Amino acid sequence: MPRQSVTLTESNNSWLNSHVGNIGDYANKSELINDLIRRARRAEFINQKLSKAEKSNFVSQSPDEILAEFKADFIK
């Protein structure tokens, strides 16, 4: 996996540390950051689909098909 260096504000670093250390849902900050990015990508994907549907007044995919397309493209 590619490695990245990021600079965090103190409050964001504290929040990450809290979720990793105290809550225990993630083993490390990298896991949490990757999960946050996946969630943001999912929201962006869904918003793009909704925007396209609103503009066309028609959607040919079911919600399950949209979700399957997202998972095929973005969850790896």
Q: Is pLDDT of 76 > 60? A: no
* The model's pTM: 0.66
CA distance 22 to 75: 27
Domain ranges for the chain, please list them.
10-74
pLDDT tens by residue, 10-65: 999 999 999 898 877 899 999 999 999 999 999 999 888 888 877 786 777 777 88
CB 38 within 8 A of CB 75: yes
pLDDT value for 38: 94
